[in-house]
Amino acid sequence: MKDHEADKWAQEDKYTKETLDFLHRRKMNDLIDGRVSYYDKEKNIEMISKKKGKVKKNVFAQKKEESVFFKVFKDKYIDEPEEDGDIYGSIDYKDCNTCDKMLGQIRYLTGFDWCTGEIIDQFLHTVEAIHIAHTGELLSKSEGR
């Protein structure tokens, strides 16, 4: 969850032991997993100087009043665009803060012909990061693979 939009809303004193264990395992999995992370693929980074780059993404989170809203775009952007274009959202965090609600959002999202696995992965990670920041708990608990 490092360097993620959710970090600015995180209340780390709320994190449960289970959440901390999960975040630690994820870091270990990144070290041994053969897959290349979304953030490590050159096509997903736009260099703004010789040493700094910004991540292009499809999913953006925005805090308004007392809630967080998500927008899922067809195309990748560095910053959230002003115009809508091909978009799914604005989605209130309250509409995806449980496993059942999240599954409903993903089912709807996959109905768009432009939706890819990469977009779904970004959406899951973004909502999960916001959920952890708000509650200190994992959005879904599984027994592993």
Total number of domains in the chain = 1
Dist. CA 138–CA 88, nearest whole Å: 24
- Residue 144 belongs to some domain of the structure: no
Q: Do 18 and 144 form a contact (C-beta atoms < 8 A)?
A: no
pLDDT at residue number 5: 62
- Residue 121 belongs to some domain of the structure: yes
Q: What is the pLDDT of residues 74-90, one digit of tens each?
A: 999 988 888 777 888 78
- Residue 143 belongs to some domain of the structure: no
Tell me the Cα Rg of the chain: 15
28 is in which domain, residue-wise? 5-34+45-135
Residue numbers of the chain with a pLDDT score lower than 70:
1-11, 24-40, 142-145
